[in-house]
Protein backbone atom coordinates (compact mmCIF):
# COMPACT_ATOMS: atom_id res chain seq x y z
CA UNK A 1 0.00 0.00 0.00
CA UNK A 2 1.70 3.15 -1.08
CA UNK A 3 -1.03 5.53 -0.04
CA UNK A 4 -1.10 6.86 3.43
CA UNK A 5 -4.23 5.87 5.23
CA UNK A 6 -5.54 8.99 6.87
CA UNK A 7 -7.29 7.31 9.75
CA UNK A 8 -4.27 5.23 10.60
CA UNK A 9 -2.14 8.31 10.29
CA UNK A 10 -4.32 10.27 12.68
CA UNK A 11 -4.40 7.40 15.09
CA UNK A 12 -0.64 7.05 14.89
CA UNK A 13 -0.15 10.76 15.33
CA UNK A 14 -2.39 11.08 18.34
CA UNK A 15 -1.16 7.95 20.03
CA UNK A 16 2.36 9.14 19.36
CA UNK A 17 1.61 12.40 21.08
CA UNK A 18 0.25 10.83 24.19
CA UNK A 19 3.07 8.32 24.52
CA UNK A 20 5.62 10.85 23.35
CA UNK A 21 4.58 13.19 26.12
CA UNK A 22 5.35 10.48 28.60
CA UNK A 23 8.68 9.94 26.93
CA UNK A 24 7.79 6.38 26.10
CA UNK A 25 8.26 6.22 22.37
CA UNK A 26 10.71 7.36 19.82
CA UNK A 27 9.52 8.91 16.59
CA UNK A 28 10.12 5.64 14.79
CA UNK A 29 8.02 3.72 17.21
CA UNK A 30 5.04 5.98 16.73
CA UNK A 31 5.52 5.77 13.00
CA UNK A 32 5.16 2.02 13.14
CA UNK A 33 1.50 2.46 13.90
CA UNK A 34 0.74 3.20 10.28
CA UNK A 35 3.08 5.70 8.69
CA UNK A 36 6.70 5.12 7.90
CA UNK A 37 7.62 8.69 6.99
CA UNK A 38 9.14 7.37 3.76
CA UNK A 39 12.68 7.93 4.91
CA UNK A 40 13.97 6.80 1.52
CA UNK A 41 12.04 9.53 -0.25
CA UNK A 42 13.54 12.28 -2.34
CA UNK A 43 14.00 15.86 -1.30
CA UNK A 44 15.51 19.14 -2.35
CA UNK A 45 18.04 21.19 -0.43
CA UNK A 46 17.61 24.88 -1.22
CA UNK A 47 20.82 26.78 -0.48
CA UNK A 48 19.73 30.39 -0.25
CA UNK A 49 23.31 31.63 -0.26
CA UNK A 50 23.37 30.63 -3.94
CA UNK A 51 20.13 32.19 -5.14
CA UNK A 52 20.49 35.37 -7.18
CA UNK A 53 16.81 36.00 -7.79
CA UNK A 54 16.90 35.37 -11.53
CA UNK A 55 13.41 33.78 -11.47
CA UNK A 56 14.38 31.07 -13.97
CA UNK A 57 12.86 28.53 -11.60
CA UNK A 58 9.53 30.35 -11.69
CA UNK A 59 9.54 30.28 -15.49
CA UNK A 60 10.47 26.58 -15.48
CA UNK A 61 7.59 25.74 -13.14
CA UNK A 62 5.15 27.71 -15.26
CA UNK A 63 6.19 25.73 -18.32
CA UNK A 64 6.39 22.31 -16.70
CA UNK A 65 3.04 22.60 -14.93
CA UNK A 66 1.39 24.33 -17.89
CA UNK A 67 0.28 27.20 -15.69
CA UNK A 68 -1.55 30.26 -17.03
CA UNK A 69 0.29 33.24 -18.43
CA UNK A 70 1.97 35.21 -15.62
CA UNK A 71 0.93 38.78 -14.83
CA UNK A 72 4.42 40.01 -15.58
CA UNK A 73 7.31 38.49 -17.56
CA UNK A 74 9.60 36.24 -15.56
CA UNK A 75 12.49 38.61 -16.16
CA UNK A 76 10.59 41.55 -14.67
CA UNK A 77 12.21 42.11 -11.30
CA UNK A 78 9.68 44.69 -10.13
CA UNK A 79 7.78 41.75 -8.64
CA UNK A 80 10.25 41.80 -5.77
CA UNK A 81 8.88 45.17 -4.67
CA UNK A 82 5.25 44.14 -4.82
CA UNK A 83 3.35 44.50 -1.58
CA UNK A 84 0.25 42.41 -1.23
CA UNK A 85 -2.62 42.27 1.22
CA UNK A 86 -1.50 42.90 4.79
CA UNK A 87 1.92 44.19 3.70
CA UNK A 88 2.91 40.72 2.51
CA UNK A 89 5.40 39.72 -0.08
CA UNK A 90 4.30 37.52 -2.96
CA UNK A 91 2.81 34.15 -2.12
CA UNK A 92 2.30 30.99 -4.10
CA UNK A 93 -0.96 31.00 -6.01
CA UNK A 94 -3.02 28.90 -8.39
CA UNK A 95 -1.04 30.55 -11.18
CA UNK A 96 2.40 30.24 -9.60
CA UNK A 97 3.36 27.15 -7.63
CA UNK A 98 6.68 28.71 -6.74
CA UNK A 99 7.81 32.28 -6.23
CA UNK A 100 11.06 33.97 -5.27
CA UNK A 101 11.05 36.87 -2.83
CA UNK A 102 13.75 39.39 -2.06
CA UNK A 103 14.83 40.39 1.43
CA UNK A 104 16.98 43.20 2.68
CA UNK A 105 18.72 41.99 5.80
CA UNK A 106 20.50 44.33 8.14
CA UNK A 107 24.27 44.03 7.96
CA UNK A 108 24.13 42.55 4.46
CA UNK A 109 24.80 44.79 1.47
CA UNK A 110 23.48 42.28 -1.00
CA UNK A 111 19.81 41.31 -0.99
CA UNK A 112 18.94 37.75 -0.08
CA UNK A 113 16.42 35.75 -2.08
CA UNK A 114 14.12 33.04 -0.87
CA UNK A 115 12.39 30.54 -3.11
CA UNK A 116 9.01 29.39 -1.85
CA UNK A 117 7.02 26.30 -2.88
CA UNK A 118 5.31 23.43 -1.08
CA UNK A 119 7.79 21.92 1.35
CA UNK A 120 6.37 18.42 0.95
CA UNK A 121 6.14 17.71 4.65
CA UNK A 122 6.87 14.23 5.96
CA UNK A 123 3.64 14.42 7.89
CA UNK A 124 1.62 16.97 5.94
CA UNK A 125 -1.07 18.94 7.73
CA UNK A 126 -2.83 19.53 4.44
CA UNK A 127 -3.22 15.77 4.20
CA UNK A 128 -4.33 15.16 7.76
CA UNK A 129 -6.74 18.07 7.69
CA UNK A 130 -8.44 17.00 4.48
CA UNK A 131 -11.58 15.07 5.25
CA UNK A 132 -12.17 13.80 1.74
CA UNK A 133 -8.73 12.26 1.48
CA UNK A 134 -7.66 14.34 -1.49
CA UNK A 135 -3.96 14.35 -0.55
CA UNK A 136 -1.32 11.66 -0.89
CA UNK A 137 2.22 11.53 0.42
CA UNK A 138 3.94 9.40 -2.18
CA UNK A 139 6.85 7.09 -1.30
CA UNK A 140 9.04 9.30 -3.50
CA UNK A 141 8.42 12.17 -1.10
CA UNK A 142 5.91 14.36 -2.96
CA UNK A 143 2.64 15.53 -1.47
CA UNK A 144 0.15 15.32 -4.32
CA UNK A 145 -3.59 15.75 -4.52
CA UNK A 146 -6.53 14.48 -6.44
CA UNK A 147 -8.58 17.38 -7.67
CA UNK A 148 -11.43 15.08 -8.63
CA UNK A 149 -11.98 14.49 -4.94
CA UNK A 150 -11.25 18.00 -3.66
CA UNK A 151 -14.42 19.82 -2.66
CA UNK A 152 -12.73 23.22 -2.38
CA UNK A 153 -13.42 23.67 1.33
CA UNK A 154 -10.09 25.40 1.94
CA UNK A 155 -9.36 23.53 5.16
CA UNK A 156 -5.89 22.58 3.94
CA UNK A 157 -5.19 26.18 3.06
CA UNK A 158 -5.74 27.13 6.67
CA UNK A 159 -4.01 24.05 8.01
CA UNK A 160 -0.76 24.38 6.05
CA UNK A 161 1.88 25.99 8.27
CA UNK A 162 3.60 27.43 5.19
CA UNK A 163 0.53 29.00 3.51
CA UNK A 164 0.97 26.98 0.35
CA UNK A 165 -2.28 25.58 -1.09
CA UNK A 166 -4.17 27.98 -3.33
CA UNK A 167 -7.44 27.57 -5.16
CA UNK A 168 -8.47 27.79 -8.71
CA UNK A 169 -11.84 29.43 -9.06
CA UNK A 170 -11.98 28.99 -12.79
CA UNK A 171 -15.07 26.95 -12.18
CA UNK A 172 -17.29 28.68 -9.63
CA UNK A 173 -19.04 25.50 -8.66
CA UNK A 174 -15.92 23.44 -8.37
CA UNK A 175 -12.97 25.33 -6.87
CA UNK A 176 -10.01 23.01 -6.56
CA UNK A 177 -6.74 23.11 -4.70
CA UNK A 178 -3.62 24.01 -6.66
CA UNK A 179 -0.08 23.68 -5.41
CA UNK A 180 3.41 22.43 -6.20
CA UNK A 181 3.43 18.65 -6.60
CA UNK A 182 7.22 18.35 -6.82
CA UNK A 183 6.68 17.64 -10.54
CA UNK A 184 5.44 14.22 -9.51
CA UNK A 185 3.62 13.19 -12.69
CA UNK A 186 6.24 14.28 -15.14
CA UNK A 187 9.50 13.85 -13.28
CA UNK A 188 9.71 12.70 -9.67
CA UNK A 189 7.83 9.49 -10.39
CA UNK A 190 10.68 8.59 -12.72
CA UNK A 191 13.36 9.58 -10.25
CA UNK A 192 14.06 12.84 -12.07
CA UNK A 193 14.57 16.21 -10.35
CA UNK A 194 11.84 18.87 -10.41
CA UNK A 195 11.88 21.30 -13.33
CA UNK A 196 12.66 24.28 -11.12
CA UNK A 197 15.64 22.52 -9.56
CA UNK A 198 17.08 21.52 -12.91
CA UNK A 199 16.60 24.96 -14.43
CA UNK A 200 18.49 26.89 -11.77
CA UNK A 201 21.78 28.23 -13.11
CA UNK A 202 23.27 28.44 -9.65
CA UNK A 203 22.30 24.97 -8.52
CA UNK A 204 20.53 26.62 -5.61
CA UNK A 205 18.47 23.44 -5.37
CA UNK A 206 20.19 20.11 -4.86
CA UNK A 207 18.00 17.12 -5.61
CA UNK A 208 18.55 13.76 -4.01
CA UNK A 209 17.56 11.33 -1.32
CA UNK A 210 16.35 13.32 1.65
CA UNK A 211 18.70 11.51 3.99
CA UNK A 212 21.67 12.32 1.73
CA UNK A 213 20.66 15.96 1.56
CA UNK A 214 20.63 16.31 5.32
CA UNK A 215 24.15 14.93 5.36
CA UNK A 216 25.22 17.25 2.54
CA UNK A 217 23.66 20.24 4.24
CA UNK A 218 25.53 19.63 7.46
CA UNK A 219 28.70 19.05 5.50
CA UNK A 220 28.34 22.41 3.75
CA UNK A 221 27.85 24.10 7.10
CA UNK A 222 30.90 22.33 8.53
CA UNK A 223 33.20 22.97 5.59
CA UNK A 224 32.35 26.65 5.29
CA UNK A 225 32.75 28.09 8.76
CA UNK A 226 30.93 31.39 9.14
CA UNK A 227 29.02 31.07 5.89
CA UNK A 228 25.84 29.43 7.13
CA UNK A 229 23.54 29.57 10.10
CA UNK A 230 24.07 26.18 11.78
CA UNK A 231 20.62 24.87 10.99
CA UNK A 232 18.81 23.13 8.15
CA UNK A 233 15.29 24.50 8.08
CA UNK A 234 12.99 21.57 7.45
CA UNK A 235 15.25 18.87 8.83
CA UNK A 236 13.04 18.69 11.88
CA UNK A 237 10.43 21.45 11.57
CA UNK A 238 6.87 20.12 11.77
CA UNK A 239 8.20 16.58 11.72
CA UNK A 240 10.56 17.24 8.82
CA UNK A 241 9.99 18.36 5.23
CA UNK A 242 11.29 17.04 1.92
CA UNK A 243 12.33 20.52 0.83
CA UNK A 244 14.87 22.01 3.20
CA UNK A 245 16.77 25.26 3.38
CA UNK A 246 20.26 26.53 4.17
CA UNK A 247 20.79 30.22 4.89
CA UNK A 248 23.53 32.67 5.75
CA UNK A 249 21.18 34.78 7.90
CA UNK A 250 18.74 33.82 10.65
CA UNK A 251 15.75 32.15 9.06
CA UNK A 252 13.28 34.52 10.71
CA UNK A 253 14.89 37.42 8.84
CA UNK A 254 13.73 35.78 5.62
CA UNK A 255 10.16 35.32 6.73
CA UNK A 256 10.52 31.69 7.82
CA UNK A 257 8.32 30.74 10.75
CA UNK A 258 10.80 29.56 13.37
CA UNK A 259 8.13 29.03 16.01
CA UNK A 260 6.56 25.94 14.46
CA UNK A 261 8.43 23.38 16.53
CA UNK A 262 9.47 19.92 15.51
CA UNK A 263 6.27 18.05 16.16
CA UNK A 264 3.91 17.43 13.25
CA UNK A 265 1.23 20.10 13.27
CA UNK A 266 -1.52 17.59 13.87
CA UNK A 267 -0.32 17.70 17.45
CA UNK A 268 -0.47 21.43 17.61
CA UNK A 269 -3.59 22.35 19.53
CA UNK A 270 -3.72 25.95 18.45
CA UNK A 271 -3.63 25.22 14.76
CA UNK A 272 -6.00 22.38 15.17
CA UNK A 273 -8.56 24.55 16.93
CA UNK A 274 -8.37 27.03 14.12
CA UNK A 275 -9.59 24.33 11.79
CA UNK A 276 -12.45 23.17 13.93
CA UNK A 277 -14.96 25.93 13.17
CA UNK A 278 -14.40 25.35 9.48
CA UNK A 279 -15.04 21.68 9.91
CA UNK A 280 -18.17 22.35 11.93
CA UNK A 281 -19.49 24.74 9.32
CA UNK A 282 -18.86 22.54 6.40
CA UNK A 283 -19.41 19.14 7.91
CA UNK A 284 -23.22 19.01 7.88
CA UNK A 285 -23.49 20.29 4.34
CA UNK A 286 -21.03 17.80 3.01
CA UNK A 287 -21.65 14.91 5.29
CA UNK A 288 -23.62 12.96 2.77
CA UNK A 289 -21.08 13.73 0.08
CA UNK A 290 -17.96 12.53 1.87
CA UNK A 291 -18.55 8.92 1.81
CA UNK A 292 -19.40 8.99 -1.82
CA UNK A 293 -16.32 11.02 -2.66
CA UNK A 294 -14.00 8.95 -0.54
CA UNK A 295 -15.33 5.79 -2.03
CA UNK A 296 -15.00 7.14 -5.52
CA UNK A 297 -11.44 8.09 -4.76
CA UNK A 298 -10.58 4.61 -3.62
CA UNK A 299 -11.90 3.21 -6.82
CA UNK A 300 -10.15 5.72 -9.05
CA UNK A 301 -6.99 6.14 -7.17
CA UNK A 302 -4.60 3.79 -8.85
CA UNK A 303 -1.97 6.41 -9.39
CA UNK A 304 -1.55 10.07 -8.89
CA UNK A 305 -4.44 11.95 -10.31
CA UNK A 306 -3.78 15.60 -9.82
CA UNK A 307 -5.67 17.15 -12.61
CA UNK A 308 -4.10 19.57 -14.97
CA UNK A 309 -6.41 21.82 -16.88
Binding stretches for ligand SF4 (CB under 6 A): 51-57, 60-61, 64-65, 97-98, 100, 113, 115, 117-121, 124-126, 143, 160, 162, 164-165, 179-183, 194-196, 199-200, 202, 204
Q: Residue 69 binds what, of ligand SF4, other proteins, none (CB under 5 to 8 Å, by partner type)?
A: other proteins
Of the two residues 139 and 261, which places its CB atom closer to other proteins in the complex? 139
Question: CA 52, CA 15: separation in Å to the nearest integer?
Answer: 44
CB of 218 to other proteins, least distance (A): 10
Find out whether 168 and 176 touch, Cβ atoms under 8 Å.
yes
Exposed e or buried b per residue across 55-80, where buried means at least 16 C-beta atoms within 10 angstroms of its C-beta:
bbbbbbbbebbebeeeeeebeeeebb
CB of 29 to ligand SF4, least distance (A): 23
Q: Residue 196 binds what, of other proteins, ligand SF4, none (CB under 5 to 8 Å, by partner type)?
A: ligand SF4
Question: CA 77, CA 296: separation in Å to the nearest integer?
Answer: 45
Q: Which residues contact other proteins (rule: CB under 8 A)?
A: 50, 52, 54, 56, 59-60, 62-63, 69-78, 110, 191-193, 195, 198-199, 201-203, 206, 208-209, 212, 215-216, 219-220, 223-224
Residues pairing with 241 in the sheet: 121
Q: Residue 70 binds what, of other proteins, ligand SF4, none (CB under 5 to 8 Å, by partner type)?
A: other proteins
Find out whether 127 and 114 touch, Cβ atoms under 8 Å.
no
Q: Residue 115 binds what, of ligand SF4, other proteins, none (CB under 5 to 8 Å, by partner type)?
A: ligand SF4
Cα atoms in the Cβ-side hemisphere of radius 13 Å centred on 32: 5
Question: CA 73, CA 90: separation in Å to the nearest integer?
Answer: 15
CB of 182 to ligand SF4, least distance (A): 5
> CA 306 → CA 54, 98, 282, distances in Å?
29, 17, 23
Amino acid sequence: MDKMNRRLFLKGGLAGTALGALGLVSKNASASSGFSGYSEGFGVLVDLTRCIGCRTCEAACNKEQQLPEPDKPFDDFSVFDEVHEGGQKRRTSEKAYTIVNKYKVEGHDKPIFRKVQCNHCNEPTCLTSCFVNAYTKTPEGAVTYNSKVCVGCRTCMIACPFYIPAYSYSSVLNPVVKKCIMCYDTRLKFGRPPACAQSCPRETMTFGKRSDLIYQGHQRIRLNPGKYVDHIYGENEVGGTAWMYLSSVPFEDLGFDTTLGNAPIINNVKEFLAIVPMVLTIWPALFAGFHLLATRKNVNNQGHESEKK
